[in-house]
């Protein structure tokens, strides 16, 4: 990916090396373990995490040996460049709709973080919190993406950011609120199916971003799209469930299969059209 000459975003909060507040009494490691198991099985751990509040030490307390290598700092710089590129694309898209795009913040953290959506550990992966309109990521996730999931490459890393920013776009457009309203009226199976559609739309929006960024600033190099598609495939529900539990439970899917994630990213990249990312339409799946 050609990113060195891109603008850097002003919306990065670097909390690396800062200790997150401890869990409230009744939470702690037990809550985190249960939440991680819920996530691995395809469920949504957010409600569980929201029950755990912060107590104790200030979030700015440093972790021991909180120093970063040149490679780690370059990765943080890369994330800032990708975030800036999402800002460029989505400002233009919203302007075309006669709307104003409100930029999200992106928080870099180490090991654990307290967000408006609750306490989370790095093992749960990157996430978007609609309550504070922030994307959260521990950069060690990229090493996990490469080594555990076999999805290396800088554009695979960019895809992850673009997907989470896609959730911010859904929040801005009112899609996230509508999904939450509908999910509250459904049983677990129906709510999971709705979550899959929301996640696949975020994949499509990531593809749309790649299309528009390439059209306007030619950011792609040979093999970049293959990296993104490989990453989308690597983190499909079916593949993750098979890796972690040895079985696949379709009713517990929340993000979509590998095939679905690849297909919807490709749809967004091929068309560059927001209307083509309507995963909620009848027959869209």
DSSP the chain: ---TTSPPPS-EEEETTBPPPEEPTT-HHHHHHHHHHHHHTT---HHHHHT--EESS-TTPBPTT----HHHHHHHHHHHHHHHHHHHHHHHHHHHTT-PPPPPEEEEESSEEEETTEEEEGGG--EEETTTTEEEE-THHHHHHHHTS---SHHHHHHHHHHHHHHHHHHHTTHHHHHHHHHHTS-HHHHHHHHHHHHHHHHHHHHHHHHHHHHHH----TTHHHHHHHHHHHT-HHHHHHHHHSS--GGG-SS--HHHHHHHHHHHHHH--GGGG-TTSTT--
The pLDDT of residue 21 is 65
pLDDT at 237 over 90: no
The pLDDT of residue 15 is 95
Mean pLDDT of 123-144: 93
Q: What percent of the chain has pLDDT over 90?
A: 62
The region of weakest confidence among 200-209, 240-249, 256-265 is 240-249
Over the stretch 55-90, which tens digit does the pLDDT of each residue have?
333 444 445 446 789 999 999 999 999 999 999 999
The pLDDT of residue 246 is 72
Over the stretch 95-118, which tens digit does the pLDDT of each residue have?
999 999 999 999 999 999 999 999
pLDDT-based confidence at residue 241 (cuts at 50, 70, 90): low
The pLDDT of residue 233 is 87
More confident residue, 252 or 57: 252
User: 86 with 219: CB under 8 angstroms?
Assistant: no
> Where exactly are the structural domains of the chain?
12-277
Mean pLDDT of 254-276: 92
pLDDT at 268 over 80: yes
Q: What is the mean pLDDT of the chain?
A: 85
pLDDT-based confidence at residue 173 (cuts at 50, 70, 90): very high
């Amino acid at each position: 990916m050609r990113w060195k000459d891109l603008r850097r975003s002003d919306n990065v909060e670097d909390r690396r090396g800062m200790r997150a507040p401890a869990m409230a009494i009744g939470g702690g490691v037990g809550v985190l373990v249960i939440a991680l198991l819920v996530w691995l099985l395809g469920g949504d751990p957010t409600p569980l995490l929201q029950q755990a509040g912060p107590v104790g030490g200030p979030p700015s307390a440093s972790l021991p040996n909180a120093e970063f290598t040149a490679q780690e700092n370059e990765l943080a710089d890369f994330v800032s460049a990708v975030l800036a590129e999402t800002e460029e694309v989505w400002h233009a898209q919203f302007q075309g709709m006669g709307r104003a795009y409100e930029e999200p913040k992106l928080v870099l953290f180490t090991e654990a973080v307290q967000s408006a959506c609750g306490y989370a550990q790095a093992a749960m992966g990157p996430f978007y919190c609609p309550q504070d309109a922030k994307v959260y990521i521990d950069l060690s996730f990229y090493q996990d993406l490469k080594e555990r999931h076999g999805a290396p490459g800088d554009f695979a890393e960019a895809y992850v950011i673009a997907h989470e920013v896609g959730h911010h776009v859904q929040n801005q457009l009112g899609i996230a609120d509508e999904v939450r309203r509908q999910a509250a009226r459904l049983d677990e199976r129906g709510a999971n199916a709705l979550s899959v559609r929301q996640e696949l739309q975020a994949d499509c929006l990531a593809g749309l971003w790649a299309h528009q960024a390439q059209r306007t600033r030619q950011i792609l190099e040979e093999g970049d799209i293959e990296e993104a598609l490989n990453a989308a495939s690597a983190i499909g529900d079916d593949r993750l469930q098979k890796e972690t539990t040895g079985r696949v439970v379709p009713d517990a899917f929340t993000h979509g299969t590998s095939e679905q994630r690849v297909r919807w990213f490709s749809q967004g990249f091929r068309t560059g059209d927001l209307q083509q990312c309507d995963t909620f339409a009848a027959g869209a799946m």
